[in-house]
């Protein structure tokens, strides 16, 4: 307590000891990057370092109740000491912390209006997994799937493509946020799907005679026994208004039974007349959500290609599908196209992306996040979450109180992960950019964050085993394909 | 003896510098632009935080100065001389005379072979030097137990700093011990065992991806398959050590008589002279002309491009650069067929995913004014650059993003360029355009290209190049580049209907105020017997008379077996010849 009182006193004394005693108090909050003003944060998050734009000598007073400390900066970069930050957040759980910025100006000091951060009661998962890749058109070089500790800044590789001749690695997916049960695909050389279950690593070639492609967009069943996938005949082209347009010429949804090593599906989501994609299991595993649109000549009719959001029941005991498809979002009536449906772990909310048309919204500036309350079927407004730039991929934390999503809002090109709080009733807090130790981190980073997913703990280093399996061609195929009537 | 060594060393230095400056000058310029060296701590950590990272960082630091005239040759000469001195130091430890200078020079000279390989990274040379310094330190420790300790400590350091070249340190030290007086084989085993353990650990931790990567020079190549030349310096170095031992144990050779005359010096310098001669006669002239032309392209030396162009040695990319130069001079529409184009591919080649193609096509499309395509190729090239980023392409991305008004991305790239040594001033100069549309449109280059975007504004990247060119030509009348390309494309495609359509819509307007010679020739083929049409569409008397002469000549020589060659001698540079004879 004594320490904090001294810290406050020191802040006040120092603030008054500049070139003159003048303290100007403009009625504005400071311009800081990243914009952490009035965000909601978990108590176990790493320090939210920021810089005061255009400032040189700066002081930041962090305050909650009787706890406070000051960070001094000579260049406007506010680098928060981890220990003090942790103590502050621990004390302020469920409350707001206040930050006051003073900037030295010619005639003395300028003290901005304080801003706050709401500290949520619910923690966020320990790690965030993502792929880092250049936002290019068709080429790639080095890429990898990484994990970042959210309580500090440690970033380690889950798998880097330098292990396997710079092939493409993509679509990492975890069962209930557990990195011990995960999968990802390898494309180009050593192609196959890597399944990790505990210490067991397998690489499967998942292309069958009955499916148009290897398995693509995944979603784990909560039991860990099944994974729903799409199979897609995807192409990409240059586009009149987007940088790149990715679209499907054909697609279906299937479920892979890991125990029987069998692909099962139903004509309801495996039809030549429709494009079905982006499957997603509900939290209880009894419902399979997916996006679907009527097949039409592509790319000529691309602008009128819009995907509905549908659901289908699924019985995990026997791996059978229901017989009726429900439509949650009717694209023909509502005029937009759905992608990336994701159900919250408590089963109450469904988060998805809406864009003007097409299947792959990551290059669509108009793409925004939307959420449905599955109990009331009502839309929950997410205006505080979206921006003028693309918001696309998103996922839930294991406790259902945090979402992470990709957004290009910083510069319109490079996707960055933003984290937002979701309350019990579905109210969403102002999102915050994944914090970094260095405030210019994102300026230097020439790669985009792709498929951000929360994971409950650190993934083990299985790079050697994966490389061995992939390069030794111990690749197995699904043994059967079963199309229900 | 001392003066003779100094003399030999000086001669070598001058010869290496001169040879590289003459043969490799454009290679150095080319390599420099393929990387982005940032003077920031995080970049240093990022590069050095991997096996061989220190050598990579030093090499990248040095390569950035290749941009300055003569610095490429100077830096590489310095590195090669340092290697030579180390080799000499190792040999001298065995008390050998200066007459074996040539042995020391052979491994070094093989690096000249690698220097001119565009996929070779200077990192390999720096790494080799680090290894040599380590080995030099090792052999100068006299007491065997201390030497063993020294080697054991140096091994992981060299491995981390320099990468797989450490295998030469291990083999070199082992050979050294084998030549020792007693129990040499025991000492010789220690370092290989230690290195095996390090590799095993590295593989387990995922630091190394394979055994072969840990013992072969693949790290120093940006290619999945390493060419045989990569092994030559390594093999030569090991042979040097073996020969050193041979000299040491052969008394008759150990103390040769030293003839202090020019003949003796000549013998010592013979390997270098042979290497120079071999390299001069085995030059990859096609590649050399490409990188030379690339330098002229970057520097916008259009006259040099036209002057040095060689039809017989050029591929489509080179001819496309020539046509860009002609277009920049306003001569494309007059002289295109003088350079024997091989269809549309000679004007606008297909992208083959290579870095070279990305750089060239980005420049061509930027020159034309198709900014979206220029940006696409700049980005793709940047992604596939050898060193994970290209300063030249980053400059292009700054320009294209400024033209598009994507200021936040442009600002990011400017921020990065401001952290380089030689592009800081350029980047700071571009900063004034950020968020300042009024200033940007006044800029003669950026402004005119921005203006060309104004049209319908609905293209970013179009796969139909003629549609894009037409849009650019119509909306940037003050910039005739797009018009030149569009009409040339129609002519090369022999698409007379599209040519006529465009002609009849725009001839006489500000879009197309005057016809080039080749366009006039095309007009004549649209209405062969309609002089009124010719006059209405700006065909000169001179061109129409030549057309008559061409027809008359053709009628006369039509039955000749070599009619094509006969006509080509007088009319090979005309559209009519291309239309009839080029299939």
Q: Are B476 and B446 in contact (CB under 8 A)?
A: no
Residue contact A165–B224, C-beta within 8 A: yes
How far lies A317's CA from each of A225, A245, A262, A485, in Å?
A: 10, 40, 15, 18
Q: In whole numbers, what is the pLDDT of chain A averaged over residues? A: 90
Alpha-carbon gap, residue A186 to A447, rounded angstroms: 19
A residues 194-253 closer than 8 Å to B (CB): 237-243
Alpha-carbon gap, residue B497 to B166, rounded angstroms: 66
Residue contact A240–B462, C-beta within 8 A: yes
The alpha-carbon gap from A379 to the nearest alpha carbon of chain B, in Å, equals 33
pLDDT tens column, A83-132? 999 999 999 999 999 999 999 988 889 999 999 999 999 999 999 999 99
pLDDT tens column, B33-45? 999 999 999 999 9
pLDDT interval class at A479 (50, 70, 90): low
How far lies B224's CA from each of A419, B124, B212, in Å?
A: 39, 16, 12
Residue A1 pLDDT: 46
Average pLDDT over residues A351-364: 91
Output the six-digit token pair for B224.
């999945």
Complete DSSP assignment for B17-61: HHHHHHHSHHHHHHHHTT-----SHHHHHHHHSSTTHHHHHHHHH
pLDDT interval class at B280 (50, 70, 90): confident
Model confidence at B513: pLDDT above 80:
yes
Q: Are A321 and A314 in contact (CB under 8 A)?
A: yes
Instruction: Write the residue in A241, A444, A464 that is nearest to B204 by C-beta.
Output: A464
Of residues A103, A121, A137, A95, the one with CA closest to residue A29: A103
pLDDT tens column, A143-165? 999 999 999 999 999 999 888 88
Helix (H, G, I), strand (E, B) or coil at B414: helix
Alpha-carbon gap, residue A5 to B335, rounded angstroms: 82
Model confidence at B239: pLDDT above 80:
yes
Runs of H (alpha helix) within B282-315 = 285-298, 302-308
Residue with tokens 């590069």: B47
Alpha-carbon gap, residue B55 to B162, rounded angstroms: 5
Q: What is the ipTM of this complex?
A: 0.90
pLDDT interval class at B100 (50, 70, 90): low
Q: Average the pLDDT over each of A425-429, A465-469, B61-65 and give the range with the smallest value.
A: A465-469
Q: Encode A423-460: b = buried (16+ Cβ within 10 Å), e = exposed.
A: eeebebbbbbbbbbebbebbbbebbbbbbbbbbbeebe
* Minimum Cα–Cα distance from A140: chain B residue: B383
Of residues B253, B290, B206, the one with CA closest to residue B96: B253
The alpha-carbon gap from B38 to the nearest alpha carbon of chain A, in Å, equals 10
A residues 291-330 closer than 8 Å to B (CB): none
Burial label, A77 (beta-carbon count in 10 A; 0-12, 13-18, 19+): middle
Residue B388 pLDDT: 65
* Minimum Cα–Cα distance from A161: chain B residue: B209
Instruction: Write the residue in B384, B388, B406 that is nearest to A139 by C-beta.
Output: B384
Model confidence at A474: pLDDT above 70:
no
pLDDT interval class at B564 (50, 70, 90): confident
All residues of chain A having their beta carbon less than 8 Å from the beta carbon of residue B459 are 240
pLDDT tens column, A177-222? 999 999 999 988 888 899 999 989 988 888 888 889 999 999 999 9
pLDDT tens column, B88-98? 888 887 766 65
pLDDT interval class at B254 (50, 70, 90): very low
Instruction: Write the residue in A136, A157, A444 that is nearest to B380 by C-beta.
Output: A136
Inform me whether the C-beta atom of residue A165 falls under 8 Å from chain B C-beta atoms: yes
Distance of CA B406 to the CA centre of its chain: 29
* Minimum Cα–Cα distance from B464: chain A residue: A238
Average pLDDT over residues B427-438: 96
Of A226-240, A436-450, A456-470, B377-391, which has the strongest mean pLDDT?
A436-450
pLDDT tens column, B302-315? 999 999 998 888 89
Q: Are A199 and A213 in contact (CB under 8 A)?
A: no
Q: Average the pLDDT over each of A20-29, A255-264, B487-496, B533-542 and give the range with the smallest value.
A: A20-29
pLDDT tens column, B534-551? 999 989 999 999 999 999
All residues of chain A having their beta carbon less than 8 Å from the beta carbon of residue B415 are 440, 443
* Minimum Cα–Cα distance from B222: chain A residue: A141
Comparison of pLDDT for B248 and B14, the residue scoring more: B14
Complete DSSP assignment for A260-286: TTEEEE-TTTS-SSEEEEEEEE-TTSS
Helix, strand and coil content of chain B, in percent to the nearest 5, comes to 75, 0, 25
Instruction: Write the residue in B224, B408, B463 that is nearest to A411 by C-beta.
Output: B408
All residues of chain A having their beta carbon less than 8 Å from the beta carbon of residue B389 are 446
The alpha-carbon gap from B361 to the nearest alpha carbon of chain A, in Å, equals 15
pLDDT interval class at B581 (50, 70, 90): confident
Alpha-carbon gap, residue B440 to B190, rounded angstroms: 66
Instruction: Write the residue in B415, B460, B461 that is nearest to A443 by C-beta.
Output: B415
Residue B476 pLDDT: 76
Alpha-carbon gap, residue B495 to A212, rounded angstroms: 39
Q: Which residues pair with A200 in a beta bridge?
A: A197
Burial label, A157 (beta-carbon count in 10 A; 0-12, 13-18, 19+): middle
Q: Average the pLDDT over each of A48-52, A186-190, B134-138 and give the range with the smallest value.
A: A186-190
Residue contact A157–B206, C-beta within 8 A: yes
Contacts of B378 by beta carbon, 8 Å cutoff, 6+ apart: B358, B362, B393, B396, B397, B400
Inform me whether the C-beta atom of residue A398 falls under 8 Å from chain B C-beta atoms: no
Q: Are A415 and A450 in contact (CB under 8 A)?
A: yes
Comparison of pLDDT for B188 and B218, the residue scoring more: B218
Residue contact A444–B416, C-beta within 8 A: yes
pLDDT tens column, B343-386? 899 999 999 988 899 999 999 999 998 888 899 999 999 988 86
Of residues A337, A344, A276, the one with CA closest to residue A311: A276
Residue A62 pLDDT: 97
Inform me whether the C-beta atom of residue A81 falls under 8 Å from chain B C-beta atoms: no
Alpha-carbon gap, residue A3 to B63, rounded angstroms: 52
Complete DSSP assignment for A205-229: ----SSSSSS--SEEE-TTSSEEEE
All residues of chain B having their beta carbon less than 8 Å from the beta carbon of residue A201 are none
Average pLDDT over residues B194-218: 85
Of residues B32, B541, B539, the one with CA closest to residue B294: B32
Residue contact B461–A239, C-beta within 8 A: yes
pLDDT tens column, B467-479? 888 888 888 777 7
Inform me whether the C-beta atom of residue A437 falls under 8 Å from chain B C-beta atoms: no
Inform me whether the C-beta atom of residue A411 falls under 8 Å from chain B C-beta atoms: yes
Left if phi > 0, otherwise alpha if psi is -120 to 50, otherwise beta: which for B250? beta
Instruction: Write the residue in B383, B416, B458 that is nearest to A241 by C-beta.
Output: B458
Inform me whether the C-beta atom of residue A163 falls under 8 Å from chain B C-beta atoms: yes
Alpha-carbon gap, residue B469 to B83, rounded angstroms: 54
What percent of chain B has pLDDT above 70?
91
pLDDT interval class at A138 (50, 70, 90): confident
Instruction: Write the residue in A140, A164, A238 that is nearest to B462 by C-beta.
Output: A238
Model confidence at A294: pLDDT above 60:
yes
Burial label, A288 (beta-carbon count in 10 A; 0-12, 13-18, 19+): buried
Output the six-digit token pair for A452.
């951000």
Alpha-carbon gap, residue A65 to A97, rounded angstroms: 8
Helix (H, G, I), strand (E, B) or coil at B270: helix
pLDDT interval class at A20 (50, 70, 90): very low
Model confidence at A459: pLDDT above 60:
yes
Residue A240 pLDDT: 52
Instruction: Write the residue in A137, A165, A411 that is nearest to B376 by C-beta.
Output: A137
Alpha-carbon gap, residue B542 to B534, rounded angstroms: 12
Of residues A135, A193, A133, the one with CA closest to residue A166: A133
Burial label, B426 (beta-carbon count in 10 A; 0-12, 13-18, 19+): middle
pLDDT interval class at A387 (50, 70, 90): very high
For chain B, which residues lie within 8 Å of any Cβ of chain A, measuring from their own Cβ? 38, 40, 42-43, 203-206, 209, 224, 353, 372, 376, 379-380, 382-385, 388-389, 406, 408-409, 411-412, 415-416, 458-463
Q: Are A194 and A201 in contact (CB under 8 A)?
A: yes
Model confidence at B101: pLDDT above 80:
no
Residue B158 pLDDT: 96
Average pLDDT over residues A463-481: 76
Q: What is the largest CA-CA distance in chain B?
A: 103
Complete DSSP assignment for B118-173: TTB-THHHHHHHHHHHHHHHHHT--SHHHHHHHHHHHHHHHHHHH-TTHHHHHHHH
pLDDT interval class at B185 (50, 70, 90): confident
Torsion sign over Cα B503, B505, B507, B511: negative
Q: In whole numbers, what is the pLDDT of chain B averaged over residues? A: 88
């Amino acid at each position: 307590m004594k320490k904090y009182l001294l810290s406050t006193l020191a802040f006040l004394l120092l603030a008054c000891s500049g070139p003159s005693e003048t303290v100007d108090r403009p009625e504005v909050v400071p311009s800081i990057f990243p914009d952490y003003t009035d965000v909601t944060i978990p108590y176990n998050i790493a320090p939210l370092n920021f810089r005061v734009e255009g400032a040189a000598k700066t002081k930041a007073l962090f305050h909650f109740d009787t706890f406070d400390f000051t960070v001094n900066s000579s260049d406007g970069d506010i680098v928060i000491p981890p220990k003090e930050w942790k103590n502050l957040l621990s004390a302020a759980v469920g409350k707001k912390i206040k930050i006051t910025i003073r900037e030295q100006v010619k005639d003395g000091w300028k003290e901005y209006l304080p801003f706050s951060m709401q500290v949520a009661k619910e923690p966020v998962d320990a790690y965030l997994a993502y792929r880092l890749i250049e936002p290019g058109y068709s080429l790639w070089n080095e890429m990898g799937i990484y994990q970042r500790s959210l309580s500090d800044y440690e970033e380690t590789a889950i798998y880097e493509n330098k292990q396997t001749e710079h092939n493409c690695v993509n679509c990492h997916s975890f069962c209930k946020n557990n990195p011990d049960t995960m999968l990802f695909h390898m494309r180009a050389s050593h192609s196959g799907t890597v399944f990790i279950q505990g210490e067991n690593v397998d690489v499967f070639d998942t292309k069958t005679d009955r499916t148009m492609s290897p398995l693509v967009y995944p979603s784990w069943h909560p039991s860990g026994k099944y994974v729903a996938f799409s199979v897609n005949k995807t192409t990409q082209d240059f586009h009149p208004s987007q940088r790149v347009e990715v679209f499907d010429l054909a697609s279906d949804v299937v479920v892979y039974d890991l125990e029987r090593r069998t692909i099962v599906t139903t004509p309801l989501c495996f039809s030549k007349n429709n494009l079905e994609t982006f499957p997603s299991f509900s939290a209880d595993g009894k419902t399979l959500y997916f996006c679907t649109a009527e097949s039409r000549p592509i790319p000529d009719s691309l602008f009128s290609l819009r995907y509905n959001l549908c659901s289908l029941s699924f019985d995990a005991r026997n791996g059978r599908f229901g017989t009726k498809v429900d439509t949650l979002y009717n694209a023909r009536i509502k005029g937009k196209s759905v992608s990336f449906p994701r159900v919250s772990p408590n089963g109450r909310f469904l988060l998805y992306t809406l864009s003007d048309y097409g299947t792959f919204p990551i290059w669509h500036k108009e793409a925004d996040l939307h959420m449905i309350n599955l109990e009331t079927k009502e839309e929950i407004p997410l205006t505080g979450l979206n921006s003028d730039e693309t918001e696309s991929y998103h996922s839930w934390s294991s406790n259902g109180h945090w979402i992470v999503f990709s957004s290009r809002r910083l510069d319109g090109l490079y996707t960055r992960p933003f984290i937002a709080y979701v309350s019990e009733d579905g109210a969403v807090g102002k999102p915050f950019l994944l914090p970094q130790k260095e405030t210019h981190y994102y300026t230097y980073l020439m790669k985009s964050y792709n498929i951000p997913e929360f994971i409950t703990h650190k993934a083990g280093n299985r790079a050697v085993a994966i490389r061995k399996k992939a390069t030794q061609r111990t690749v197995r195929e699904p043994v059967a394909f079963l199309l229900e009537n | 003896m001392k003066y003779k060594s100094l003399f030999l060393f000086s001669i070598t230095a001058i010869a290496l510098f001169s040879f590289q400056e003459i043969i490799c000058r454009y290679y150095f310029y080319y390599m420099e632009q393929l990387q982005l060296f940032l003077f920031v701590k995080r970049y240093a950590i990022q590069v050095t935080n991997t096996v061989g990272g220190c050598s990579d960082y030093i090499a990248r630091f040095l390569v950035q100065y290749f941009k300055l005239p003569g610095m490429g040759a100077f830096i590489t000469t310095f590195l090669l001389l340092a290697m030579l001195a180390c080799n000499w130091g190792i040999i001298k430890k065995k008390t050998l005379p200066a007459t074996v200078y040539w042995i020391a020079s052979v491994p070094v000279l093989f690096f000249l072979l690698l220097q001119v390989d565009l996929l070779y990274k200077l990192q390999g040379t720096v790494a080799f030097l680090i290894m040599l310094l380590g080995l030099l330190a090792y052999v100068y420790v006299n007491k065997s137990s201390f030497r063993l300790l020294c080697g054991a400590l140096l091994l992981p350091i060299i491995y981390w700093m320099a990468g797989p070249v450490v295998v030469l340190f291990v083999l070199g030290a082992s050979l050294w011990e084998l030549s020792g007086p007693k129990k040499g084989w025991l000492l010789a085993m220690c370092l290989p065992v230690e290195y095996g353990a390090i590799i095993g650990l590295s593989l387990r931790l995922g630091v190394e991806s394979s055994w072969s990567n840990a013992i072969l020079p693949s790290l120093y190549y940006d290619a999945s398959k390493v060419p045989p030349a990569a092994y030559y310096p390594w093999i030569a170095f090991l042979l040097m050590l073996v020969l050193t031992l041979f000299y040491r144990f052969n008394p008759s050779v150990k103390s040769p008589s030293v003839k202090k005359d020019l003949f003796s010096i000549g013998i010592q310098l013979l390997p270098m002279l042979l290497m120079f001669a071999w390299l001069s006669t085995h030059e990859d002239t096609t590649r050399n002309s490409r990188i030379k032309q690339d330098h002229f392209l970057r520097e916008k030396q259009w006259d040099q491009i036209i002057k040095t162009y060689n039809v017989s040695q050029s591929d489509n990319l080179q001819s496309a650069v020539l046509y860009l130069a002609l277009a920049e001079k306003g001569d494309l529409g007059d002289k295109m067929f003088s350079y024997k184009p091989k269809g549309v591919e000679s004007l606008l080649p297909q992208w083959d995913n290579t870095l070279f193609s990305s750089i060239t096509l980005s420049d061509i499309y930027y020159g034309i004014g198709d900014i979206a395509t220029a940006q696409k190729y700049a980005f793709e090239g940047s992604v596939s650059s050898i060193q994970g980023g290209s300063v030249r392409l980053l400059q292009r991305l700054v320009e294209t993003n400024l033209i598009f008004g994507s200021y936040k991305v442009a600002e990011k790239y400017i921020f990065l360029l401001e952290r380089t040594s030689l592009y800081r001033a350029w980047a700071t100069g571009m900063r004034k355009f950020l968020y300042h549309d009024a200033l940007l449109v006044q800029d003669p280059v950026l402004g005119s290209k921005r203006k060309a975007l104004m049209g319908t504004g609905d293209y970013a990247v179009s796969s139909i190049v003629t549609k894009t060119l037409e849009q650019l030509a119509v909306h940037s009348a003050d910039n005739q580049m797009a018009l030149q390309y569009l009409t040339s494309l129609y002519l090369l495609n022999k698409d007379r209907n599209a040519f006529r359509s465009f002609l009849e819509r725009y001839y006489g307007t500000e879009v197309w105020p005057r016809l080039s010679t080749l366009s006039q020739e095309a007009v004549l083929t649209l209405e062969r017997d309609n002089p009124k049409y010719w006059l209405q569409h700006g065909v000169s008397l001179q061109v129409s008379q030549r057309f008559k002469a061409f027809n008359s000549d053709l009628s006369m020589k039509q039955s000749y077996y070599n009619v094509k060659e006969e006509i080509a001698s007088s009319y090979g540079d005309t559209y009519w010849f291309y239309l009839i004879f080029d299939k």
